[in-house]
């Protein structure tokens, strides 16, 4: 079936509007598209004029901020969605089907709902929930250093670029690179007046431009005078010999192109740029700091305030707990969770912490996942003495240390969570075992019947960890936290953006000089060497010199990402290489006492399971 072109739609729209001048723009637009669609597709259902007008009026009320042709698209979506693909309303054509992004500028804090300090996971989740406003998201990152180098998220259709730091994945810089693709206001004043979609484009006001705010408009009307700007000379290979003049205010800066020959510290640059009526900035940046020159020095490392303290955001009724900034793994099943922007911390002791304590400290989980993957059960069939006492060094890194890591806590089919749902999930499962998914905190907690955690590392100082509570033997069927899965949200990984990034640190390896702790940014090769050295006394002589075998995990197999655990090497025939998944979906598991690392091909740790 031929596709309806934008030219056909526009040509049909013009005479229809002339002959039916009393009808709304929405009625005209949807009728012209509907008629053209009927021309190409005889199976298009017939509709009455009154029904058309009723739908048009409803759309005028409910989606009045849409362009008329986009309202027509919404009409066709409701009437005959099976024919919607016949309309060439994609971004490849000129039809303005996208809802214009409108935002208030808050220098130093936010651009609309895009708040400095927000996590990459939160921002991506919000943007993906509104595909009509944000139809194209381009993520750029370093494949070799995805958690050290900044991550750039470009909203190409909206003329916006967002920059996040690598270790914390927090929004550090908001840039507008095309003022014609958005509508930004500052104190109820337009930076650029949006084009009138229902009429011919109006002539710009003298001193203003339709492609962006002019220097004169910014300096004399919107933001007012400021200190002298900063001139960045052109690079030697610049073809046009133009440098950048940064007009900086607290929390916001504008970049103007300026010839190097026209700039001098003794010249009045303000008068020079104000005289050019069409001088518009190439970009605008929103940052935290008094000036761009000052903010540039610590742009990626500055401690930003909590997003909850931003007064421009609407206040919700739900009380959201402070996010977890760092998880310290102390060994022996003891973890310390530090809250961001506070001095408080929460302890989780595997085998002892109850679900009620988890909810009291962390809030209810975002979802729960019933633990029903039994494919690794065969590897659990070991004696009690084998599972409790590991006198043999080979047992310290044998494959059954990896049993039941599941990695299934990332299942996308999780149930929505509330207190009643949690109780129903537990009641519906014979053992009650389930994962508490804390997507916005960056980890999952396995709740199951009590089991002794892994033993602490040799020569650990007990003063660094809280005293353990004895396990209550009178309630063997009670549920406690027995496992914690920490997610790194590494760009390029198969499960990217299911969880926010959770930063962690192995505290009992923090015995070197400052800044050398084994943490979520450390390459696994270094972590493995330090763990082998720490556990050296528990291994038999010479065993640490043997290369440790990793088990391949392919998340690309199976019906759902959460249940696609396939292990190769050790647990499968070594000759069977069924690597059907992509490179990004294949990772390697390495086990240590109480720890399982899922390692990407670039040697970065994607997840850590603590048990």
Edge to edge, what strands does the sheet with 171-176 contain? 138-140, 151-155, 160-164, 171-176, 283-286, 252-259, 242-249, 230-232
Q: Are residues 332 and 256 in the same domain?
A: no
Q: Are residues 143 and 228 in the same domain?
A: yes
Q: Please give the tally of structural domains in the chain.
A: 3
Q: Do the Cβ atoms of 360 and 340 come closer than 8 Å?
A: no
Q: Are residues 141 and 82 in the same domain?
A: no
Q: Are residues 75 and 205 in the same domain?
A: no
Q: Are residues 465 and 528 in the same domain?
A: yes
Q: Which domain holds residue 11?
A: 6-86
| Cα separations in angstroms, 337 against 221, 293, 484, 535, 550 | 49, 36, 12, 24, 29
Q: Are residues 115 and 63 in the same domain?
A: no
Q: Are residues 152 and 207 in the same domain?
A: yes
Query: How far is it, in rounded angstroms, from Cα 290 to Cα 110?
Result: 15
At which of 26, 52, 86 does a domain end? 86
Q: Are residues 58 and 109 in the same domain?
A: no
Q: What is the structure's pLDDT at 342?
A: 81
Query: How far is it, in rounded angstroms, from Cα 285 to Cα 301?
Result: 17
SS3 330: strand
Residue 105 lies in a domain: yes
Q: Are residues 61 and 111 in the same domain?
A: no
Q: Which of 595, 181, 137, 184 lies closest to 397 in space, CA to CA?
A: 595
At which of 86, 116, 138 does a domain end? 86
Residue 287 lies in a domain: yes
Q: Are residues 431 and 577 in the same domain?
A: yes
Token pair 């992509």 in the structure block, residue: 582
φ and ψ of 402, to 5 deg: -95, 0
**Which conformational region is residue 169 in: left (phi greater than 0), alpha (psi within -120 to 50 degrees), or beta?**
left
Q: Are residues 52 and 128 in the same domain?
A: no
Other Cβ atoms closer than 10 A to 97: 21
Residue 91 lies in a domain: no
Residue 338 lies in a domain: yes
Q: Do the Cβ atoms of 76 and 132 come closer than 8 Å?
A: no
β strands within 392-510, DSSP E: 415-416, 434-438, 443-448, 480-487, 504-506
Q: Do the Cβ atoms of 504 and 605 come closer than 8 Å?
A: no
Give 168's strand partners. Answer: none
Query: How far is it, in rounded angstroms, from Cα 434 to Cα 427?
Result: 11
| Gap between the terminal Cα atoms of the chain | 57
Residue 92 lies in a domain: no
Residue 541 lies in a domain: yes
Residue 436 lies in a domain: yes
- Is the dihedral angle over the CA atoms 310, 321, 440, 428 positive or is it negative? negative
At which of 30, 58, 86 does a domain end? 86
Residue 389 lies in a domain: yes
Grouped pLDDT means (10 residues each) for the chain, 611 residues: 34 35 48 51 45 49 48 55 46 52 95 96 96 95 96 97 98 97 94 64 54 90 90 86 93 94 86 81 96 94 85 59 89 93 90 95 92 48 39 35 38 47 49 89 95 82 60 70 97 95 93 79 94 78 55 60 36 34 73 94 96 92
Q: Are residues 162 and 107 in the same domain?
A: yes
């Amino acid at each position: 079936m031929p596709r309806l072109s934008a030219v056909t739609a526009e040509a049909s729209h013009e005479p229809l509007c002339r002959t039916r001048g009393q009808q709304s723009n929405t009625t005209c637009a949807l009728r012209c598209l509907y008629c053209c669609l009927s021309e190409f597709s005889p199976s298009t259902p017939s509709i009455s004029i009154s029904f058309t007008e009723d739908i048009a009026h409803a759309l005028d009320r409910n989606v009045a901020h849409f362009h008329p042709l986009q309202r027509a698209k919404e009409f066709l979506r409701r009437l005959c969605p099976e024919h919607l693909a016949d309309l060439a309303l994609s971004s490849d054509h000129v039809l303005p089907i996208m809802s214009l992004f409108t935002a208030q500028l808050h220098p130093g804090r936010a651009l609309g709902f895009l708040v400095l300090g927000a996590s990459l996971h939160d921002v991506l989740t919000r943007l993906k929930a509104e595909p009509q406003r944000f139809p194209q998201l381009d993520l750029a990152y370093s494949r070799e250093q995805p958690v050290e180098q900044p991550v750039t998220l470009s909203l190409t259709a909206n003329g916006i670029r967002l920059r996040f730091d690598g270790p914390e994945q927090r929004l550090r810089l908001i840039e507008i690179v095309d003022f014609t693709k958005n509508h930004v206001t500052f104190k109820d004043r337009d930076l650029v007046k949006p084009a009138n979609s229902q009429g011919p484009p109006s002539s710009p006001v003298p001193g203003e431009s339709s492609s962006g705010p002019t220097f004169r408009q910014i300096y004399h009307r919107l933001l007012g005078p400021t200190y002298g700007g900063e001139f960045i000379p052109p690079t030697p290979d610049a073809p046009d010999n133009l440098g950048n003049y940064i007009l900086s205010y607290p929390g916001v800066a504008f970049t103007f192109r300026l010839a190097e020959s026209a700039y001098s510290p003794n010249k009045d640059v303000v008068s020079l740029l104000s005289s050019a009526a069409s001088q518009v900035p190439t970009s605008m940046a929103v940052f935290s700091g008094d000036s761009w020159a000052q903010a540039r020095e610590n742009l990626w490392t500055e401690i930003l305030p909590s997003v909850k303290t931003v007064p421009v955001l609407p206040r919700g009724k739900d009380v959201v707990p402070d996010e977890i900034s760092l998880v310290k793994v102390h060994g022996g099943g003891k973890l310390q969770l530090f809250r961001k922007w506070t001095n408080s911390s929460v302890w989780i002791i595997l085998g002892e912490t109850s679900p009620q304590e988890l909810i009291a400290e962390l809030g209810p989980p975002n979802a729960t996942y019933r633990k029903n993957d039994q494919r690794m059960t065969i590897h659990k069939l070991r004696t009690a003495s084998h599972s409790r006492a590991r006198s043999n060094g080979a047992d310290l890194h044998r494959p059954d240390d990896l049993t039941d890591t599941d990695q299934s806590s990332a299942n996308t089919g999780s149930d929505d969570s509330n207190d009643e749902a949690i109780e129903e999930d537990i009641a519906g499962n014979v053992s009650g075992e389930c994962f508490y998914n804390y997507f916005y905190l960056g980890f999952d907690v396995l709740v199951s019947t009590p089991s002794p955690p892994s033993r602490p590392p040799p020569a650990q100082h007990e003063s660094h960890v809280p005293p353990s509570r004895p396990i209550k033997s009178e309630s063997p069927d009670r549920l406690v936290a027995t496992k914690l899965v920490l997610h790194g949200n590494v760009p390029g990984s198969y499960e990217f953006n299911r969880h926010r990034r959770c930063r962690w640190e192995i505290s009992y390896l923090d015995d070197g000089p400052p800044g050398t702790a084994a943490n979520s940014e450390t390459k696994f090769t270094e972590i493995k060497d330090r763990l082998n050295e720490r556990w050296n006394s528990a291994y038999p002589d010479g065993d640490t010199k043997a290369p440790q075998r990793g088990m391949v995990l392919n998340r690309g197999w199976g019906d759902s990402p959460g249940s696609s655990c396939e292990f190769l090497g050790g647990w499968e025939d070594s000759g069977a290489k069924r690597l059907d998944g992509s490179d990004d979906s294949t990772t390697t598991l390495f086990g240590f006492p109480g720890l399982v690392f899922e390692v990407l091909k670039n040697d970065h740790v994607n997840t850590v399971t603590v048990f």
